[in-house]
Amino acid sequence: MLSKAQNKYIRSLSQQKYRVEHGVFVVEGDKIAREWLAADADIQHIVATEDWLGQNKSLIKRHQEASVTAVTEAELQSVSQLQTANEVLLVVHWDNENKQLPTGEWCIALDTLQDPGNMGTIIRIADWFGIRHIVASPDSVDYYNPKVIQAAMGGHLRVQLHTADILSFVSNTTMPVYAAALNGEDVYGLTNATEGILVIGNESKGISADLMKLATRKITIPRRGGAESLNAAVSTGILCALLIKP
């Protein structure tokens, strides 16, 4: 069972300030946890039911660095950040190494993206299309927010996540910059796209005016119906499918 201190510590990780302080985040649920354990992730704690621990001994043995605690379903629920706990919870160290910003390949740049569901889905989209880098502005939602982790479905393991001043990043690039805009050119007619930066803006305000000025091309998904706009993650998926050639 978990001690009171362990219980308090894990519950505190629902808040960004404590994730930053300790350099860790929480991964929950059978499928996602098994994916993280199968990778070379640095695991601090494995908290799971007896049944789950018994069924996954080979994965657990890969992580001698991790402490392992068997808990009841009620105990797991007490520290879970999900509405309903799902067998296992991991506390994982994040990669704090300074990563070089991408050059010469597709990447997604996020300008003040706020919704954790959108962030996680965009990480998953990047993973699907083989985009190895996402660069988000410092005022975007935290990459390690519990809802981001859930929506990304393991994408954190394969996509390098950067936080940087987007204006500076785009100003200093030699790559084409494709800005998602309501008044851009029809993306379906864009036949000569080369590897570059796809910029996605804030859910309500879009891309900032200063950043939009730096766009090589403004692109849009043409509207056929009456919706005012498309969800940021949905737009990202459609644009990636049309821009990135197999």
- By DSSP bridging, strand 88-93 and strand 24-28 are antiparallel
Burial of 120 (0-12, 13-18, 19+ CB in 10 A): buried
pLDDT category of residue 95 using cuts at 50, 70 and 90: confident
> Residue 149 pLDDT > 80, yes or no?
yes
Q: Out of 50-64, 87-101, 140-154, 187-201, pick the least confident.
A: 87-101
Residue keyed to tokens 């308090």: 8
What integer pLDDT is reported at residue 106 of this predicted model?
A: 96
pLDDT category of residue 97 using cuts at 50, 70 and 90: low
Structure tokens of 55?
């069924």
Q: Region 147-154: what's the mean pLDDT? A: 96
- For the chain, give the mean pLDDT: 95
What integer pLDDT is reported at residue 96 of this predicted model?
A: 65
Higher pLDDT, 90 or 229: 90
Helix (H) or strand (E) holding 236: helix 232-243
Q: Out of 117-126, 140-149, 189-198, 200-209, pick the least confident.
A: 189-198
Q: Is the pTM for the entire model greater than 0.85?
A: yes
Percent of the chain having pLDDT more than 70? Answer: 99
CA distance 115 to 166: 18
∠ CA(93), CA(202), CA(106), 5° rounding? Answer: 65
Domains delineated in the chain: 4-93 (3.30.1330.30), 107-243 (3.40.1280.10)
What integer pLDDT is reported at residue 119 of this predicted model?
A: 98
Structure tokens of 180?
């998602």
Cα separation values, 158 from 21, 40, 51, 150, Å: 24, 11, 29, 15
Percent of the chain having pLDDT more than 90? Answer: 89
> Residue 99 pLDDT > 90, yes or no?
no
Beta bridge partners of 200: 110
pLDDT category of residue 132 using cuts at 50, 70 and 90: very high
Closest CA to 87 of 75, 95, 97, 98: 75
Q: Are 211 and 165 in contact (CB under 8 A)?
A: no
What integer pLDDT is reported at residue 245 of this predicted model?
A: 82
For residue 134, the SS3 value is strand
Could you read off the pLDDT of 17-64 as tens digits, one per residue?
999 999 999 999 999 999 999 998 999 999 999 999 999 999 999 999
What integer pLDDT is reported at residue 128 of this predicted model?
A: 97
